[in-house]
Structure 1
Amino acid sequence: MSGAGPEVVVLVGLQASGKSTFFRQRFAGTHVHISKDLMRNGSRKEARQHALLTTTLARGASLVVDNTNASAAERQRIIAVARDFGARVTGYWFPPDLPVLLARNAARTGRARVPDVALFATLARLEEPGVEEGFDRLFVVHTLPGEDFACRAAG
């Protein structure tokens, strides 16, 4: 797809993998941040995310969906909305490194820290994304020391 029009960025990875930091470093100035973690009320988060996706894309704005997006089915719902608006879809896959993620999660405080069981539950349903899901571009991201990242094209 061409560079014109909005872009939908889908971040895929376990909790504590650096997705939100990656958003702040790479996209905060250019893309709307959509995250279920920012939705205070626990009910209907999927419906509210869908509404945010459609209203943001209707304005012609680019956005980042910053959730675990663990399954192909979850990502497919996002990609379908993006396609309805003619948006480019870029995925960033954060492969799990469980010892690192557990340590990063343990260092978190307040609402940012999730129970370790949540990491294991997400890991159990985590599916590596592939371009065949409908991504125009897909990158693999590795977290480096000092909250830096290394990206490479998937494949």
Structure 2
Amino acid sequence: MPKNPPESMQHHLRRRLNAHAAEHWPRLARVHVRFRAGFAYVEGELKGGERLPLCRLRFTGALHTWGFALYEAGNGGYRDTTFPNGLTAGSAEEALDRAGDLRLTPHPPGGPGPTPVPAGLVLLVGPPASGKTSFVRTLIAHGRIDEDAVISSDEIRAELLGAAPTGTDPDTDSETDPDEVDARIFEERDRRIVARLAAGQTAVAESTNVTPQARARLIAIARRFDAPVTMLRFTPDLDLLLRQNAERGRTDTTAADVRAYAGVMARHARPGQLLAEGADAVHDVPGRLQGATPAEAAAHFSFTRRTEVPGLP
């Protein structure tokens, strides 16, 4: 059985990783490292106390060179991975950054290049007024995604109901069952997402998606096409959310609604839970709280438009 590194080396590795996390990963309160059979298992502890498996380092006999395997939430195991430079071994700090980019949140704007988002299903996760619509509109305006890539539940609702009052069928001017309306909206949304994923194209689901039930339905669709799932979280604090909601001037979402959605988000949409549900990557989108404009937030991500699908031109 492979041997663990000496105790002095174990202590040195823990100290280095915690120092690096303190400088580059402010969401981490601490990095935990446990050793077993020549491997170092690295976990990140978030400020709220939640612990996330990040990666596994393989001891090569040298303090500054480690093999690297990413933790895969889907199967609870580890997959040998190369570093960004293509090498199979590198520094522990590089491994932490690589795992953090995929398992935690991206570096702040101005960091080392845009965060890549593969073609597949992209779920926007955030309360009303958190900046989701401004973000996708900027992506479209700057040519980073196609307009048809964005599947908006609000826009589908407007298409189905037109200018009729909420709960009224525009064709008959009669009252409709809200549950029936929602079912029609979700059916049409799912149809559009299926069409894009089947063609190997990105589908951006623009809705709140703060509950596990809402996300599970969409993740199940992505799995039918073996499409990667990327979740982009919008996390302004409550005061900023309420100000942004007031600035929108909309009457269909009250301050109480915003508070309720924000509460659900805080309880049920933490990065660790999203990864456990099946997200392949989770990233926080910077906003006004971080001093980022929608254009700066959009520039923080690079979207792949399409993957090759056998049988399609």
Q: TM-score range by the shorter chain?
A: 0.7 to 0.9
Indicate the residue corresponding to 2:124 in structure 1.
Answer: 11
State the shift of 1:34 in Å: 0.6
1:34 matched residue in structure 2 = 151
Q: Indicate the SS of the match to 1:90.
A: strand
The match for 2:277 is: 133
Q: CA deviation at 1:110?
A: 4.5
1:84 corresponds to: 224
SS at match of 1:11: strand
1:89-100 residue pairs with structure 2 within 5 A?
Answer: 89-100=229-240
Distance, in Å, in 1 between the alignment partners of 2:140 and 2:202 is 9
Distance 1:98 1:110 in 2: 17
Task: Answer whether contact 1:36 1:49 (CA < 8 A) is retained.
Answer: yes
CA contact (8 A) 2:236 2:287 kept: no
Structure-1 residue corresponding to 2:260: 121
After TM superposition, give the deviation of residue 92 of structure 1 in Å: 0.7
Name the Cα RMSD after superposition. 2.6
CA positional deviation for 1:18: 0.7
How many correspondences in the alignment? 148
Contact kept? 1:14, 1:96, Cα under 8 Å: no
3-state SS of 1:131 partner: helix
From 121, 131, 136, the equivalent of 1:23 is: 136
Greater shift, 102-111 or 13-22, is seen at: 102-111
Q: Displacement, 1:27?
A: 5.6
- Identical columns (%): 32
* In 2: Cα distance, 1:95 partner to 1:109 partner: 21
Which of 169, 184, 199 pairs up with 1:59? 199
Q: CA deviation at 1:99?
A: 0.6
Equivalent residue for 1:105? 245
Which one-letter code corresponds to 2:254 in the other structure? P
Q: Can you give the 5+ residue segments of structure 1 that lack an aligned partner in the other structure?
A: none
1:14 & 1:104 partners in 2: Cα distance? Answer: 11
More RCO (CA 8 Å, sep 6+): 1
Separation in structure 2 between the aligned mates of residue 50 and residue 24 of structure 1, nearest angstrom: 21
Displacement of 1:115: 1.7
TM-score (norm 1): 0.81
Cα offset, 1:54, TM superposition = 1.2
